[in-house]
Amino acid sequence: MISVAAQHTSSFKSQQQRYERVRTAYSEKENAMLQVLKDKNIEVSSMDILLRAYKQESELELWAKNKKDKQYTLLKTYKICASSGTLGPKRKQGDIQVPEGFYVIDRFNPVSNFYLSLGVSYPNASDKILGVKGALGGDIFIHGNCVTIGCLPISDDK
């Protein structure tokens, strides 16, 4: 499971909109996403986000809630359009596995080779205990395109 609690901030948005890809994504997707949030009574200014990925089903779910709410609401489900490895955890660099566990989105790369990459905080504490010491790898992302060697691609249009 990949989770992230994020509050929409104008400074983050304005910083990211310096990049053409981000401006394009906002112009193409923002109104539709704001409507989904409105329909689900989610306030952008008080929103927590949870992403949940399923390897076998090749799905990435987007959940959100208002900070004051106790339960998340499913907003969208995205098809993971390519996969690598097999079911089971990532234990070392180069094993082409997608990590399994709890992670946070720890970075955003608007100039990645793969459209609008969201970095996953792999390795987590469990990975560091159970994985190959000194050779865990990293740079796991949720991104566009439909190629992967351990990431979760959902295509550029999503």
Nearest one of 1, 17, 111 to 49, comparing CA atoms: 1
Helix (H) or strand (E) holding 49: strand 47-54
49-105 pLDDT, tens per residue? Answer: 999 999 999 999 999 999 999 999 999 999 999 999 999 999 999 999 999 999 999
Two tokens at 149?
Answer: 């060697």
Beta bridge partners of 61: 52, 77
Active site residues: 143, 151
Which tokens belong to 91? Answer: 């234990």
Radius of gyration of the chain (CA): 16
Could you read off the pLDDT of 98-123 as tens digits, one per residue?
999 999 999 999 888 898 999 999 99
Angle at 87 between CA 82 and CA 92, to 5 degrees: 90
